[in-house]
């Protein structure tokens, strides 16, 4: 399934009682699907595909938003939260913190849908859990 | 240095294009070619191994056959001796010597084949390990590169996205607000539904002359009647 097809299918898809808005962004030689889960356009999920895997990424915050005196502690907390968090992991891309999940390219629409819903919920939960570490 | 260590060093060094900076496309092609070559060498070695193993089996068979022939001729020689045929026995003995010489040659080549087989098996094992290792490293480089490309594309998308300009805390508050609004709406809808249901019920009761309203009406009428009767 290529990204174009996936985007169209996801736009009409409902997983776990949650609706999606999805659109594809053509970016040089790498397409990206942007998915808004349950109307939360503050935390869009980005889906890209490489030869080996489908990557679902949700950006949480910029490094500059961390209370500086708590930065080390936050990284420690995130590493500890990594394993208990279902299906997703924390990551850092440039200076942005993110949660992401990787799927095999052979994954079904249901599996991708489930991943995206879980990722969206994890993102909100994670932001809530660590919001004390962030500046207002 | 292992690929993973190189990646680690590159990331620590703050290299932006990790995948590309690490190994250029040409190097990847050469690496792929090397893996391909080792795979072909491995296939040739496996074919060689089967040939040598076939020869080993063949030689074993020949040695066994010679052993049987030697035993057979020793028996003949004994028979000749028992019949006092000294010169015939000598001839047979010479034949046995021929067989034994031939056997000795085969035994030598057998041990040669056997050591060759051991060596080939070791080489094949080592080659298989190298190929697997190289493939894993190649996958890592390629994955890093494509992930880099993918995340950069996402990054570019994010930069043009207005909603991402808000801080994470503001975003979270908006989401929480939206969730609360939605819950309020659900609650309101439920209340409305409950009220509507209540109205319907009252209407039905009213029609059937049951309930407070109906009773009030008849009470008032009775009161008026009573009044007018008094006056």
Identify the pLDDT of residue B11: 62
B146: CB partners within 8 A, 6+ apart: A50, A51, A52, B19
Which residues of chain A have a CB within 8 Å of the CB of B28?
Answer: none
User: With bands split at pLDDT 50, 70 and 90, how would you rate the model's confidence at A132?
Assistant: very high
pLDDT in tens, A22-31: 888 876 677 8
User: Whole-angstrom Cα distance, residue B140 to residue A101?
Assistant: 17
| Res A65 pLDDT > 80 | yes
User: Whole-angstrom Cα distance, residue B173 to residue B169?
Assistant: 6
Identify the pLDDT of residue B3: 60
Q: B60 versus A4: which is more confidently predicted?
A: B60
Question: DSSP string of B70-126?
Answer: HHHHHHHHHHHHHTT-HHHHHHHHHHHHHHHHHHHHHHHHHHHHHHHHHHHHHHHHH
Identify the pLDDT of residue B18: 47
Chain A: closest CA distance from residue B191 (Å):
22
Average pLDDT on B125-132 reads 88
Average pLDDT on B151-172 reads 73
User: Whole-angstrom Cα distance, residue B120 to residue B43?
Assistant: 12
Say if the Cβ atoms of A53 and B143 lie within 8 Å: yes
pLDDT in tens, B61-98: 999 999 999 999 999 999 999 999 999 999 999 999 99
Average pLDDT on A46-52 reads 85
User: With bands split at pLDDT 50, 70 and 90, how would you rate the model's confidence at B22?
Assistant: low
- Is the CB of residue A105 less than 8 Å away from at least one CB of chain B? no
- Structure-token pair, residue A100: 């992401």
Instruction: For residue A103, count other CB atoms closer than 10 A to its CB.
Output: 19
Q: B56 versus B191: which is more confidently predicted?
A: B56
Contact present, B37 and B123 (Cβ < 8 Å): no
Chain B: closest CA distance from residue A30 (Å):
6
Contact present, B164 and A59 (Cβ < 8 Å): yes
Chain A: closest CA distance from residue B32 (Å):
16
Q: B96 versus B137: which is more confidently predicted?
A: B96
Question: How far does chain B reach from its first CA to its final CA, in angstroms?
Answer: 117
- Structure-token pair, residue B16: 């932006």
> Percentage of chain A surpassing pLDDT 70?
99
Contact present, B23 and B151 (Cβ < 8 Å): no
Contact present, A70 and A102 (Cβ < 8 Å): no
- Is the CB of residue A87 less than 8 Å away from at least one CB of chain B? no
Kindly provide the ipTM of the predicted complex, given to two decimals: 0.78
| Res B162 pLDDT > 90 | no
Which residues of chain A have a CB within 8 Å of the CB of B169?
Answer: 65, 131, 134-136
> Percentage of chain B surpassing pLDDT 70?
84
Enumerate the β-bridge partners of residue A32. Answer: A25
| Res B19 pLDDT > 50 | no
User: With bands split at pLDDT 50, 70 and 90, how would you rate the model's confidence at B56?
Assistant: very high
- Tell me the CA distances in angstroms from B53 to A27, B37, B123, one per residue in order: 57, 24, 15
User: With bands split at pLDDT 50, 70 and 90, how would you rate the model's confidence at A91?
Assistant: very high
Average pLDDT, chain B: 82
- Residue of B146, B169, B171 lying closest to A51 (CB–CB): B146
Identify the pLDDT of residue B8: 65
* A&B contacts, CB < 8 Å: 93
Which of A56, A31, A115 lies closest to B149 in space, CA to CA? A31
């Amino acid at each position: 399934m290529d990204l174009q097809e996936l985007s169209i299918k996801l736009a009409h898809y409902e997983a776990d009682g949650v609706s999606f808005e999805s659109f594809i962004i053509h970016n040089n030689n790498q397409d990206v699907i942007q998915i808004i889960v349950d109307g939360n356009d503050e935390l869009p999920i980005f889906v890209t595909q490489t030869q080996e895997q489908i990557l679902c990424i949700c950006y949480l915050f910029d490094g500059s938003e961390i209370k500086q005196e708590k930065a080390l502690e936050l990284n420690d907390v995130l590493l500890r939260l990594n394993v208990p968090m279902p299906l997703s992991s924390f990551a850092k891309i440039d200076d942005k913190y993110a949660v992401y999940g990787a799927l095999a390219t052979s994954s079904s629409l249901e599996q991708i849908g489930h991943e995206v819903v879980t990722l969206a919920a994890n993102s909100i939960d994670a932001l809530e859990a660590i919001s004390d570490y962030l500046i207002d | 240095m292992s690929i993973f260590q190189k990646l680690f060093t590159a990331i620590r060094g703050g290299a932006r294009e990790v995948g590309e900076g690490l190994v250029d496309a040409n190097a990847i092609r050469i690496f792929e070619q090397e893996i391909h070559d080792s795979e072909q060498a491995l296939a040739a070695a496996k074919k060689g191994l089967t040939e040598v193993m076939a020869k080993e089996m063949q030689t074993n068979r020949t040695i066994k056959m010679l052993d049987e022939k030697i035993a057979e001729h020793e028996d003949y020689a004994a028979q000749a001796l028992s019949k006092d045929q000294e010169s015939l026995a000598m001839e047979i003995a010479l034949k046995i010597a021929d067989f034994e010489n031939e056997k000795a040659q085969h035994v030598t080549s057998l041990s040669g084949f056997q050591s060759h087989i051991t060596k080939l098996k070791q080489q094949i094992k080592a080659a298989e390990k190298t190929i697997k290792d190289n493939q894993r490293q190649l996958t890592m480089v390629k994955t890093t590169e494509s992930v880099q490309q993918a995340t950069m594309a996402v990054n570019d998308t994010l930069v043009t996205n207005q909603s991402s300009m808000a801080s994470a805390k503001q975003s979270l508050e908006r989401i929480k607000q939206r969730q609360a609004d939605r819950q309020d709406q659900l609650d309101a809808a439920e209340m409305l539904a409950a009220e509507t249901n209540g109205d319907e019920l009252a209407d039905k009761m009213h029609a059937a002359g049951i309930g407070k309203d109906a009773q009030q009406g008849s009470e008032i009428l009775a009161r008026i009647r009573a009044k007018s009767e008094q006056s």
